[in-house]
Structure 1
Amino acid sequence: MHHMATSSQQSADEAVLATLGYKQELRRAFTPLEVFGVAFSFIGVVPSTTSVLFYSLSNGGPVAMVWGWAFACFPIVCIGLAMAELASAAPTSGGLYYWTHSLASPRCRNFLAWIVGCNSLVLTAWWVASVDWACAVQITAAVSIATNQTYAKTNKELYGIYAAVVLSQAVAVSLGTKVLARLQKIYIFLNICLCLIIIIALPAATPLEYRNTANFALGGFTNLNGWPSGLAFIFSLTTPLWVIGGYDSVVHISEEASNAAVAIPWAIINSIAVSAILGWGINVSLTFCMGTDLSAIVSSPIGQPVAQILYNSLGREGALAVWCLVIAAQYMMGSNCLLVGSRQTFAFSRDGALPLSRYLYRINRYTKTPVNTVWFGAVLALAVGLLAFVGSQAIDAVFTIAITASYISYITPITTRFVFKNNFKPGPFNLGRLSFPVAAIAVSWMVFMIIIFFFPTTPQTNAQKMNYTVAVLGGFMSLAIFWYYCPVYGGVHWFNGPVSNIAPALRGEQGEEDSVSEKVT
């Protein structure tokens, strides 16, 4: 009976994909729980918080950590809801770029899909780079804890660890879909255990001298960077926005998920909701257990504020034990970033949208997964990591670039749905009348925050301390636009957005673009 239900579900999934113009090529081995696992461990509440807590610690301290987190959750939920509706209507690995092309006007849809596609492609490299760089820093923090804070890291050592992390993940992500799907349950378990350790065990073990009063923990405002208080509070939101980010990750495994039109939107919503609640609990726990000397925590020799808080509260052995779990969770998060990025690159190369498409659009005959795109993503991430040799601000920019680039990719399809005339057909998950107001809140918030992410860390800045987000992202976007309009070789001459692979004979023919967009919309 179960087998019949499974095969009928598989046929239904294949039929939905066929209406979107694609044949089933990847194995649908992800159950709804495992789909949730991809999004939840991609967010990775504890390891992510440890990576970027310095933003909220420096720009508001306890008030930013507790109330800034709560404040940011509402717009994040709105973005997630708007994304979930689109994912339910068209569950394909192409995701954001596919939706953009299907919903925009024929006059500009190729260009908009090109921009979102290029952006999403580079975004996967930024996510992998930011997560794995944080993982390398966490590994050096573990060495620092073990040596009683006598170890001092160099950029060369950090890059060496980073490269080892990226390459080992590429080997793991090259495995079969079934193995990758089953691993998600371990990831969920580890992430929830870590959250409970911080929320329950940390307050129980913290010595009296580091325990804070409710007054300080819930109302203390510490401003270490020198911005006016209101602006500092807004900058502190980088922490929750980066932590609860990348929830669109599950969209890119749509073609490997069972009942994708329902499982994908619910994975987006549930991963945001669970992460928001657990993350708030973690921040409250940390504010009660970190003592009042925040500048000592931010400039800690360990190099990681959360590691210093754990060291103060749990001692060397306890801190090291918890920190090893944090590193494991961060490592899993990086491998999921690479997994998701490889599926997205696979979708682009299937449509012939990349320079090396013919090599990238291949499924390994042993693992039945797109191994070439996994290694392509790993090489891109290794290249991004070289920013570390420019300076610490340049590599820190990978965090804000990851959010900024993802917001550009989110804004485009959400806006095109309402701005252009199209026959958008909602999927099983839809908000009805609330669709437009939710989308309006989401887009306004993202536009506002993109501007904020271009500001430098402190009001007094120089070439070393500037915020490289605008330079790197601006340079990349200019390159993408130039490549599109380039005479003879530019995308404007050959790029037609999503290309159906159900009838390969049609590929490249004039009517293809319209037939696909009819299927899509």
Structure 2
Amino acid sequence: MPNFQQDDDVLVSLGYKQELKRDFHLIELFGLVFCMIGVVPAIASVLVYALPNGGPAAMVWGWAGASVFLIFVALAMAELGSAMPTSGGLYYWTHRFSSPRFRNYLAWEVGYINTVAYVSGIAGIDWGCAIQIMAAVSIGTDLEFIPTTGQIYGVFCALLVCHATAASLPTRIIARIQSPYVVLNVLLLLGLLIAIPVATPSEFKNDASFALGNFTNLYRWTDGFAFILSFLAPLWVVGGFDASVHVSEEARNAQIAVPFTVVAATVSGCVLGWALNLVLAFHMGPDVVAVMSNQIGQPLATILFNSFGKKGTLCVWCFIVITQFMSGLGILTVSSRQNFAFSRDGAFPFSRYMYRLNPYTQTPVNSVWMAAFLASLLGLLAFAGPAAIGAVFTMSVIAQYISNSIPIVARFVGGREFKHGPFKLGIFGLPVAVVAVSWMTFMSIVLLFPTAPHPTSQTMNYSVVVVFGVIFLSSVYYFFPKYGGIHWFKGPVVTVEDEGVDSEDQRSGEKAPSTVNEKDL
């Protein structure tokens, strides 16, 4: 049986009282993150970015190569999550391990960048779901219906409302639905791995030389750089390494459940995703351009249509939409908990309201709806063109990698003591961290590039605008004369009076406040 008192004691040692309900068992926490990854629906969303940057060879080998580095990132994050499982996660660790001179500002920036990572993740998942729903309508009408951007945006907003409503429910309800959705995700994936080879007509089956060696570059980058750009697919699908950390205050036996979930979800996502890509490469047909340019508008839907026909595709596609919908619920839940934690420490705008728990559901309902609202604003990028809305996928990865890298680096260079949790890498901790941070830095730079050289306003990568715009604006807010965060933000605050709290890290040894220091715009 989980030791609730032990979980509460660990949280108290980090300076926080227990406010959320610990209703997530280990398998349910894994289910939340695994469903958030959502291998099949996520690949459906980003296959359009992998295929033109290398074709089947990039799908197979690009995914395999990126997976190795993704596991390094997961290991580094799991060790931190096991040591300090708090919903504040990344920005809390940044403040704990950074030098006193820079820790307030770095924690502030990491908190805001992490917020953008999850808001753009919500936008990406729900936009993908909206497109998948419209693709089903197009297939069902024999392509007589082709949705407009406005119609897709309307479905996107409706999905956000549905997800925000569901994410506002009590934690126990959100937790209990995870197990059946894990089963649904796995059955969908296994069903496709078996059914696609059986159902695909011979004219759409490819030999090994094509599936494993054909390189199709539809853009004007060099082949090597195009291959690297194809990494966006596995990076987007297998991301959110800190997701379980943000729900750790609702998890039982968090010091073990969090690292297990981080590593298990990453490894399973990498392996299962590679298996699906391999099957698709062998059964997508020999014409990559035809798959990309089909009126259905979704490469995976086109491949399934060629294999199963209209009725079979619609049947499979319904399950893909359901699993994508659950991915959206998962990431909105995680995002709202990060906003809740950041507001608890007074750093988020309107913290007094974002920190509030609903008296009936005991969940941060205001934070849920704020995350959904911010995602709806990002969705407006769709009206600037396909490349602009595509940036929500890259900006999510970039922001995630920036906010992941800073606490990992701070742990080793900040000069502060690190106390291991149950999960520890031992002597491999530093090498793993070096590989993880180097990978994330490299890919963050790569993903800032546009889809093709010589971009216009329609084809530029808007990730640089949003990510660095947030960094600039949050810095202005921090350094603003008199009212800026530099005058009042002191990092994570203590919400309990307990002798077990690390008073040194609470700041200067002063008596810890009994309630959060709330600051608003």
Could you tell me how far apart the structure 2 residues matched to 1:464 and 1:384 are?
Answer: 16
Q: Give the aligned partner of residue 427 of structure 1.
A: 421
Per-residue CA deviations over 1:351-377 (Å, capped at 9, x if unaligned) read 111221111111111111111111111
Q: Find the residue that maps to 1:17 and give its secondary structure.
A: helix
Residues 1:214 and 2:208 are matched in the alignment: yes
Per-residue CA deviations over 1:173-226 (Å, capped at 9, x if unaligned) read 111111100111122111111211221111110011101111111111111112
Segments of 4+ moved more than 4 angstroms: 509-512, 515-518
Task: Give the counterpart letter for 1:361 in structure 2.
Answer: Y
Which has the larger share of helix?
1
1:59 aligned residue (53, 56, 66) = 53
Could you tell me how far apart the structure 2 residues matched to 1:100 and 1:265 are?
Answer: 18
2:440 aligned residue (426, 443, 446) = 446
2:11 aligned residue (7, 17, 38) = 17
Per-residue CA deviations over 1:324-380 (Å, capped at 9, x if unaligned) read 111111110011111001111111111111221111111111111111111111111
Residues 1:72 and 2:56 are matched in the alignment: no
Q: How many residues end up aligned between the 2 structures? A: 509
Q: Give the aligned partner of residue 415 of structure 1.
A: 409
Contact persistence 2:200–2:283 (CA under 8 A): yes
Contact persistence 1:498–1:516 (CA under 8 A): no
CA RMSD in angstroms, aligned pairs only: 1.7
Could you tell me how far apart the structure 1 residues matched to 2:379 and 2:482 are?
Answer: 33
Per-residue CA deviations over 1:45-100 (Å, capped at 9, x if unaligned) read 11111101122210111110111111001110000000000000000000000000
Per-residue CA deviations over 1:119-178 (Å, capped at 9, x if unaligned) read 112222111101101111111111111111221111110110000000011111111111
Residues 1:380 and 2:374 are matched in the alignment: yes
TM norm structure 1? 0.95
Q: Find the residue that maps to 1:222 and give its secondary structure.
A: coil
Contact persistence 1:27–1:256 (CA under 8 A): yes
Residues 1:152 and 2:146 are matched in the alignment: yes
Could you tell me how far apart the structure 2 residues matched to 1:99 and 1:495 are?
Answer: 16
Q: CA deviation at 1:515?
A: 4.8
Q: Find the residue that maps to 2:411 and give its secondary structure.
A: helix
1:323 aligned residue (317, 320, 340) = 317
Q: 1:516 to 1:326 in 2, by over 3 A?
A: farther
Residues 1:467 and 2:489 are matched in the alignment: no
Residues 1:238 and 2:229 are matched in the alignment: no
Contact persistence 2:37–2:239 (CA under 8 A): yes
Task: Give the counterpart letter for 2:334 in structure 1.
Answer: V
Could you tell me how far apart the structure 2 residues matched to 1:364 and 1:273 are?
Answer: 36
Contact persistence 1:38–1:336 (CA under 8 A): yes
Could you tell me how far apart the structure 1 residues matched to 2:490 and 2:461 are?
Answer: 36
Contact persistence 1:407–1:446 (CA under 8 A): yes
Could you tell me how far apart the structure 2 residues matched to 1:468 and 1:380 are?
Answer: 16
- Calculate percent identity across the aligned residue pairs: 51
Q: CA deviation at 1:514?
A: 3.7
Q: Find the residue that maps to 2:61 and give its secondary structure.
A: helix
Could you tell me how far apart the structure 1 residues matched to 2:84 and 2:403 are?
Answer: 16
Alignment gaps of 5+ in structure 1: none
Between 1:440-449 and 1:471-480, the stretch displaced more is 471-480
Could you tell me how far apart the structure 2 residues matched to 1:434 and 1:176 are?
Answer: 40
TM norm structure 2? 0.95
Q: How does 1:314-393 map to 2 (within 5 A)?
A: 314-393=308-387
Could you tell me how far apart the structure 2 residues matched to 1:244 and 1:515 are?
Answer: 41
Q: CA deviation at 1:510?
A: 12
Q: Give the aligned partner of residue 285 of structure 1.
A: 279
Residues 1:228 and 2:219 are matched in the alignment: no
Q: Give the aligned partner of residue 491 of structure 1.
A: 485
Could you tell me how far apart the structure 2 residues matched to 1:510 and 1:218 are?
Answer: 56
Could you tell me how far apart the structure 2 residues matched to 1:390 and 1:66 are?
Answer: 32
Q: 1:249 to 1:343 in 2, by over 3 A?
A: same
1:406 aligned residue (400, 407, 418) = 400
Alignment gaps of 5+ in structure 2: 513-521
Between 1:362-371 and 1:322-331, the stretch displaced more is 362-371
Per-residue CA deviations over 1:401-443 (Å, capped at 9, x if unaligned) read 0000000000000000011101110110010000000000000
